[in-house]
Structure 1
Amino acid sequence: MIKKFLCSTLIALFVCSASFAQTKPKETKVEDPDNLASQYFSQVMGVAVDATSNLKLYKFIYEWIGTPYRYAGNTKKGIDCSAFAKAIYDKVFNTNILRNSRDIFSMVNPLSKDELKEGDLVFFKIKSKSISHIGVYLGDNRFAHASSTRGVVISNLNEPYYSRYFYKGGRIIEPGDKNFVEE
């Protein structure tokens, strides 16, 4: 219900922006719809979305917020953390990554928290000696993920729970990168 309201509000903002742009004199600067979307996502998602942010990433995440967690799931009826990360990389970054968080970690250059950039991956060892959880970093210590208790949400790496279990960040190794190994 709230999601539909927020989506309707975003659509209304775009419609108002478009009609406002049509009625203003030509010499007046028109509000950029991408800027409106950035402001909207900043407010709704609690993430500082700016002009350099990937709006496609935020739109994709917004469409999934609230989707329940389901182990091995990969649809809006239920999804797990690695399937969610895989879907983001497929649809937003046009990059195919593996399906499980431990395997995905083999595809990255490890990073510390302070090296993370928007779109990087974050890995956790939750009550385990091996990687057991993954999310996608958004900036400002926030990341999107499929939580086993809350479904698809945005969380903060500084929350005590995530801070305790954070393992490493990672950036996908691209072909041509010195660390890229073709299989």
Structure 2
Amino acid sequence: MIKKFLFSTLIALCSITALNAQTAKETNKTEDPDNLASQYFGQVMGVAVDATSNIKLYKFIYEWIGTPYSFGGNTKKGIDCSAFTKAIYDKVFNTTLLRSSRDIFSMVDPLSKEELKEGDLVFFKIKSSRITHIGIYLGDDRFAHASSSRGVVISNLTEPYYARYFYRGGRVIESAKKQLIEE
């Protein structure tokens, strides 16, 4: 009888321990920054984050969402579109870009909207004949950028404003990366 009681107690303790371990694992999963970034983009922003996505890219953007816009700024107190793009390429892709959106365009192979892939650049000519704005393409027509009116946000290329001023997409050319390293 005592053996049966001890065995039942042991089974109960093992079950409780396993349940606690599972709960802790689930709690850690929701508190994990990578998972939080994936949840944010997937559920809140409607961006499809999957196994092929660059989680480092999404985590970086997630940490900057809501940062105010500041022309010439390059910190979390305020940043402009080209500094935001430059920071992403530096930290996520280990690639140095030039400072202005026009100069960055000189480093890319131009692409149409249909050719864009996650991590490509999107360029805009907003009320100008010159490139005035830049962002990072995320897929599903979404892109991250530092908006002059809303700060760092995710927007959609199909929104009338961005569709109107979209100029081209671009993918950084390998030779442009090497040239910067050599200089």
What range is the shorter-chain TM-score in? 0.7 to 0.9
Relative distance call for 1:75 and 1:115 in structure 2 (3 A) is: same
Shift of 1:162: 0.2
- Counterpart in 2 of 1:62? 62
CA contact (8 A) 2:41 2:49 kept: yes
Judged with a 3 Å threshold, the aligned counterparts in structure 2 of structure 1 residues 18 and 87 are, in CA distance, closer, same or farther, namely farther
CA distance in 1, matches of 2:176, 2:70: 36
Kindly indicate whether residue 156 of structure 2 is the aligned counterpart of residue 151 of structure 1. no
Q: Give the corresponding residue for 1:141.
A: 141
> 1:9-88 residue pairs with structure 2 within 5 A?
19-20=24-25, 38-88=38-88
Distance 2:126 2:176 in 1: 33
Q: TM-score, normalised by structure 1?
A: 0.77
AA of the residue aligned to 2:72:
A
Structure 2 unpaired stretches of 5+: 1-20
Structure with greater helix share of residues: 2
Unaligned segments of structure 1, at least 5 residues = 1-15, 22-29
The number of aligned residues is 158
Aligned residue for 1:56, secondary structure, equals helix
User: Does 2:168 match 1:168?
Assistant: yes
Superposition TM-score, scaled by structure 2 size? 0.77
Per the TM alignment, residue 44 of structure 1 is displaced from its structure 2 partner at its CA by 2.9
CA distance in 1 between counterparts of 2:108 and 2:89 reads 13
Q: Could you say what the CA RMSD is over the residues aligned between the two structures, in angstroms?
A: 2.8
CA apart distance, 1:43? 1.1
Identity %, equivalent residues:
78
Conserved 8 A contact 1:122-1:134: yes
Cα separation, 2, equivalents of 1:36 and 1:150: 22
